[in-house]
């Protein structure tokens, strides 16, 4: 199976060994984990095994696999065309040397990482894809998709950046319609109203389950570590949707029970930190593991791997295809990515979320060279300050050379929140 | 009741022993490759000087880069908290603190009631820290402790543009080769660091009093360059290098009071040799406390 996918098997083994060790050290050493995390441990142990086999089996049955890196790709249309969507690997230092044989060094680590997985042939998801769907969010991704097209079939959606105008709505809607056509052409399936409605329901159910897990983290003590909650969010991009929804709801049941019984992880007298900023593609666990190694829980993620994904649902106001597509636009244009301008909506959301989750402080994550999130930190910081919530900005990549410096800053930040 | 603060820095390990808010003795030793060993040695010598036994110390707080490796500490705090506490204790009017150590630099702002309001640290690079100065002193063939004096002799500081230690070294060699004096280059280096770190200070906000601590604060050329750049007077504690250890010891004292551990009856009272840093404001230029038998040459270390 692996050979058929065109993987570099030797390199892939190195990756899997590193992943297994890193996962064991970070996740399996946590105390008092919810039993429901067992499923997610299993998914990770099979992330380059059974799950790939499922995808390969689907391909053999003539179904298509779509790879994506961004929430703006409407997955409802992918599932309505009876295709499967997977989030692609982009959170590892491992693939960056391969990327740097082609790309400039001074760009976003996420972009370099995903590109390196393709060039180095080390990601079975990437190599399973019939088409990669990109989008015009940030400059690094936009331009790298042009280069990526030489390696794999790539389709790019235009995402307008000034979202509150009629012109931008018209453009975005037309992009959604073009993507629908693209999916129909690729799969040979016409997307009917009923299949789209069913796909909307499927994805909404998934997001509701994720929101339930997130809501339980408002309790003190929090019933689940930030690392585990992050993992659930990361797995949501890879796993079979129905099974993921079922298992995530089971986890939510357990966490709600934990809250009712006052059971949690960590020390409730410690500050509660909220995470905000750039996404943490799997297996980027760096900042969460640093924060929680200091004994302080992460209680929420305002991020694409986090609240931006599951907060809003697609809610059609009518029954026509047009109103279904408009509902998709309505939901998607409300995801406040820092590529938008102006983006006051995101600033408000961060402050509201910090209050909702009773966060004592916010750790703001900037992936190196991510200008949009980096600069937007100024407005977020100002708004949080006005709300009485201190913010610590951390700019980093996937390397480990600055782990201790970051740990010192995070510790100093928590000491500032709860003076010693 | 006696307590100790241990600051294990990237370059030097500092210990301060405190009784009733006053420094009994302090020690500065190179950290070397074994922070735990350096801390134990420094503590032992400091105890001897204050005529105390290890058992007389009721609480130890460690801080600094190696804070987690010191096995005898009862508690550890970050260098941000320790320096804030230390600077505040020697200068109650402190609202802004700049600390430049061997491997990092940090700017801290304090609230009116002395809590940390904000801070910023240099990222992953040691540019603009004691390590940078050490490397440049070597190129200029001057002892680190004398580099500041050399810089003050310059009437026309050279412009040094690079902040990277490796690039700066090349730049310095070029300047010297082109006939610029060591004095001008030394002053240029101080100005170059001052430009860099003053951005950090402005980021947290320059509010008086501004305390400058860390080994680099012993460099008079750096002090002059920073005062010019920040357009404000800097307060330099008499022993700027031990402010972190002093702050850690102050926190140890507070922790002890909080715990209300009734161990005081076990200790032998009296016999203390209290002469060192008094708590309270220390105007710049006050005579540094002399501690009998302080072995290390203080000027040789930068952080």
Q: Which of residues 378-407 of A touch B (CB under 8 A)?
A: 390, 395, 401-402, 404-405
Q: Cα distance from A334 to chain B (closest Cα, Å)? A: 33
CB spacing of B80 vs A395 below 8 angstroms: no
ipTM confidence = 0.88
Nearest to B121 among A401, A409, A419 (CB): A409
Give the A:B interface size as CB pairs under 8 Å.
44
Nearest to B77 among A402, A405, A420 (CB): A420
Rounded-to-integer distance, Cα A327 and Cα A315, Å = 6
In Å, what is the CA distance from B171 to each residue of A321, B53, B157?
Answer: 67, 51, 14
Could you read off the pLDDT of B2-49 as tens digits, one per residue?
999 999 998 899 999 999 878 999 999 999 999 999 999 999 999 999
Half-sphere exposure of A74 (CA within 13 A, CB side): 35
Q: How many CB atoms lie within 10 A of CB B138?
A: 12
Owner of token pair 């789209």 = A196
Nearest to B80 among A402, A405, A412 (CB): A412
| Assigned domain for A133 exists | no
Q: How far is CA B213 from the centre of its chain?
A: 5
Q: Of B61, B66, B104, B108, which is closest to residue B87 (Cα–Cα)?
A: B108
| Assigned domain for A384 exists | yes
| Assigned domain for A322 exists | no
| Assigned domain for A44 exists | no
| B contact test, residue of A389, A395, A411, A417 with most B CBs within 10 A | A411
Could you read off the pLDDT of B145-193 as tens digits, one per residue?
999 999 999 999 999 988 888 888 999 999 999 999 999 999 999 999 9
CB spacing of A419 vs B115 below 8 angstroms: yes
CB spacing of A408 vs B115 below 8 angstroms: no
- Per-residue pLDDT band at B202 (split at 50, 70, 90): very high
CB spacing of A419 vs B251 below 8 angstroms: no
| Assigned domain for A404 exists | yes
Asked if A350 and A276 count as a contact pair (C-beta separation under 8 A), the reply is: yes
Q: Does B99 touch chain A (CB under 8 A)?
A: no
| Assigned domain for A151 exists | no
| Residue-range definition of the domain harbouring residue A303 | 199-313+337-417
Asked if A402 and B104 count as a contact pair (C-beta separation under 8 A), the reply is: no
Q: If you average pLDDT over residues B216-230, what whole number do you get?
A: 95
Rounded-to-integer distance, Cα A209 and Cα B187, Å = 63
Could you read off the pLDDT of B68-101 as tens digits, one per residue?
999 999 999 999 999 999 999 999 999 999 999 8
Domains for chain B: give ranges and CATH numbers.
Answer: 1-91+242-303 (3.30.420.40), 93-236 (3.30.420.40)
| Assigned domain for A93 exists | no
Could you read off the pLDDT of A123-139 as tens digits, one per residue?
999 999 999 999 999 99
Q: If you average pLDDT over residues A129-156, what whole number do you get?
A: 96
| Assigned domain for A114 exists | no
Q: Cα distance from A386 to chain B (closest Cα, Å)? A: 13
Lowest mean pLDDT among A107-111, A250-254, B60-64, B274-278: B274-278
Please tell me the total count of domains within chain A.
1
Q: Which residue of B has its CA nearest to A402?
A: B124
Q: Which residue of B has its CA nearest to A416?
A: B116
3-state SS, residue B137:
helix
Pairs from B173-178 (Cβ < 8 Å, separation ≥ 24) = B173/B139, B176/B139, B176/B140
CATH number at residue A286: 3.40.50.11900
Q: If you average pLDDT over residues A108-133, what whole number do you get?
A: 95
Q: Cα distance from B80 to chain A (closest Cα, Å)? A: 6
DSSP state of B100: E
Nearest to A405 among B80, B123, B254 (CB): B123
Residue A413 confidence (pLDDT): 97
Nearest to B77 among A401, A402, A415 (CB): A415
More confident residue, A2 or A373: A373
Asked if B74 and B187 count as a contact pair (C-beta separation under 8 A), the reply is: no
Residue A411 confidence (pLDDT): 96
């Amino acid at each position: 199976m692996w050979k058929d996918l065109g993987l570099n098997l030797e390199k892939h083994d190195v990756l899997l060994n590193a992943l297994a060790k890193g996962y064991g050290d970070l996740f399996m050493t946590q105390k008092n984990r919810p039993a429901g995390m067992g499923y997610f441990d299993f998914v990770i142990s099979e992330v380059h095994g059974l799950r790939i086999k499922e995808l390969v089996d689907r391909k053999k049955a003539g179904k298509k696999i779509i790879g994506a890196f961004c929430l703006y790709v409407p997955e409802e249309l992918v599932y309505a065309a009876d295709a499967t969507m997977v989030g692609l690997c982009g959170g590892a230092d491992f693939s960056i040397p391969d990327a740097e044989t082609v790309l400039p060094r001074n760009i976003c680590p996420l972009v370099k990482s995903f590109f390196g997985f393709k060039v180095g042939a080390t990601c079975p998801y990437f190599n399973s894809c019939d088409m990669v769907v990109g989008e015009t969010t940030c400059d690094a991704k936009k331009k790298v998709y042009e280069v990526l097209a030489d390696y794999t079939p790539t389709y790019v959606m235009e995402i307008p950046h000034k979202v509150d105008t009629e012109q931008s709505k018209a453009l975005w809607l037309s992009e959604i319609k073009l993507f629908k056509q693209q999916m129909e052409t690729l799969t040979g399936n016409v997307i009917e109203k009923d299949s789209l409605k069913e796909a909307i329901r499927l994805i909404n159910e998934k997001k509701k389950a994720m929101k339930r897990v997130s809501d339980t983290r408002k309790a003190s003590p929090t019933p689940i570590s930030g690392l585990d909650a992050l993992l659930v969010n990361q797995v949501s991009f890879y796993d079979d949707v129905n099974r993921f929804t079922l298992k995530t709801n089971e986890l939510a049941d357990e966490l709600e029970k934990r809250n009712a019984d006052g059971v949690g992880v960590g020390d409730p007298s410690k500050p509660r930190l909220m995470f905000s900023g750039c996404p943490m593609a799997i297996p980027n666990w760096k900042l969460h593991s640093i924060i929680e190694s200091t004994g302080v829980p992460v209680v929420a993620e305002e991020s694409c791997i986090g609240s931006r994904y599951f907060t809003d649902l697609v809610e059609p106001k009518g029954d026509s295809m047009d109103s279904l597509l408009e509902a998709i636009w309505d939901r998607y244009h409300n995801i406040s990515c820092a590529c938008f301008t102006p983006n006051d909506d995101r600033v408000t959301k961060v402050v509201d979320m910090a209050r909702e989750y009773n966060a004592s402080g916010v750790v703001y994550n900037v992936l190196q060279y991510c200008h949009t999130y980096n600069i937007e930190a100024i407005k977020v910081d100002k708004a949080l300050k006005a709300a009485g919530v201190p913010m610590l900005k951390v700019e980093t990549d996937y390397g480990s050379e600055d782990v201790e410096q970051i740990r010192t800053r995070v510790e100093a930040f928590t000491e500032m929140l709860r003076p010693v | 009741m006696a307590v100790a603060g241990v600051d294990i820095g990237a370059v030097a390990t500092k210990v301060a022993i405190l009784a009733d808010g006053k420094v009994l003795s302090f020690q500065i030793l190179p950290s070397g490759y074994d922070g735990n060993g350096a801390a134990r040695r420094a503590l032992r010598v400091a105890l001897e000087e204050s005529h105390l036994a290890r058992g007389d110390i009721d609480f130890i707080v460690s801080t600094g880069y190696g804070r987690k490796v010191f096995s005898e500490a009862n508690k550890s705090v970050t260098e941000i908290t320790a320096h804030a506490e230390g600077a505040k204790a020697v200068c109650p009017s402190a609202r802004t603190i700049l600390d430049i150590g061997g491997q990092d630099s940090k700017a801290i702002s304090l609230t009116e009631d002395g809590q940390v309001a904000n801070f910023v640290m240099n990222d992953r690079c040691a540019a603009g820290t004691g390590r940078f100065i050490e490397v440049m002193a070597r190129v200029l063939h001057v002892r680190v402790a004398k580099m500041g004096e050399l810089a003050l002799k310059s009437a026309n500081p050279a412009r040094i543009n690079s902040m990277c230690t490796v690039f700066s070294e090349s730049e310095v060699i070029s300047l010297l080769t082109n006939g610029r004096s060591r004095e001008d280059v030394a002053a240029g280096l101080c100005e170059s660091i001052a430009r860099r770190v003053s951005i950090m200070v402005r980021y947290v906000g320059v509010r008086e009093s501004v305390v400058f601590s860390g080994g680099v604060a012993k460099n008079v050329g750096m002090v002059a360059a920073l005062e010019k750049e920040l357009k404000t007077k800097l307060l330099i504690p008499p022993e700027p290098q031990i402010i972190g250890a002093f702050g850690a010891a102050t926190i140890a004292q507070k922790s002890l009071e909080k715990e209300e551990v009734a161990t005081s009856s076990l200790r032998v009272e009296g016999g203390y040799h209290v002469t060192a840093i008094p708590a309270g404001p220390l105007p710049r230029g006050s005579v540094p406390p002399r501690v009998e038998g302080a072995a290390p040459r203080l000027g040789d270390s930068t952080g």
